[in-house]
A = this chain, B = another copy of it.
Amino acid sequence: MEKNHSSSGKGGKLSVVGTGPGSLEYLTPRARQIIEKSDIVVGYKTYLDLIEVLLFGKEIVASAMMQEVDRVKKAIELAVEGKSVALISGGDPGIYAMAGLAFEVAKRLDCSIEIEIIAGIAALNSCAERLGAPLMHDFATISLSDLLTPWELIEKRLKAAAEADFVIVIYNPRSKKRSWQLDRACEIISQYRVGATPVGVVKGATRAHEEITVTRLDQLDTAVVDMQSTVIVGNSNTYIWNKKMITPRGYSKKYNLEQA
């Protein structure tokens, strides 16, 4: 592959498009327009199925879950050939998703095609929405996937976040192959938070099979958590009201809600 194909007259471009949590009601007009205008749509089959109505008559390159790098390389190749390519990412491509891989692969291939990122509603946004208002104060977002990150570093971050009283958003909490990490994470967090700390689990946010659980740290049944779930652990001030998980905005008492 040669350099600077983007300066050829053909104007290929790679758009990494976030399609949000699943429902088309969460797809931004910008994302929709870029998918509609693209020559080719590349993506993981499950995410493409969720936006099927937009794909009628389009050239599609679908692939399986674990072939992310292949998918990105294919998308870049097509853009280098002059196509406008929409590479689909569930959620927001900018949060633990395809945006970085697009740049990383382009850099490795020394290929300077135009790459643009189209933000979407990420799992943290949609899960917070479903749970109430858990992210009203500082939060740390931690992935429990130790495929590309040493487990020691993940533990270090869990401890740091728990000790400094961050709300904690857990991505990739549990899968069939990674069954013990969430239990261990809860054990670590429990060293710094009381058992009554609210915990929310959202599985398949906005999709037909959506499940929302609001519970406490000492009562969380981690077996119900799967790879389509996101977990949010409250800070020391988070409380549950009307089945919603609410983190107050302030630690001091400067704002008087009664006088409001």
Contact = CB atoms under 8 A, between A and B. Distances in A.
Interface residues of A, number: 84
A125 B246 CA distance: 22
Interface stretch (A39-47, A55-63, A136-144, A222-230): A136-144
Interface in A203-260: 241-242, 244, 246-252, 254-258, 260
A105 B257 contact: yes
Interface in A106-120: 107-108, 112, 115, 117-120
Interface stretch (A80-88, A92-100, A177-185): A92-100
Given A24-B29, A94-B128, A246-B104, A70 B133 contact: no
Contacts of A115: 244
A58 to B, nearest CB: 20
A119 B112 contact: no
A194 interface: no
Nearest to A254: B148
A9 to B, nearest CB: 21
A132 interface: yes
Contacts of A142: 138
A260 B105 contact: yes
Interface string A23-52: 111111110010000000000000000000
Given A100-B248, A157-B138, A157-B164, A148 B94 contact: no
A129 interface: yes
Closest 4 CB pairs of A and B: A148-B250, A100-B136, A69-B260, A160-B164
13 contacts: A20-B28, A24-B29, A25-B30, A69-B255, A94-B129, A95-B125, A103-B132, A103-B244, A125-B125, A138-B143, A148-B250, A153-B251, A157-B166
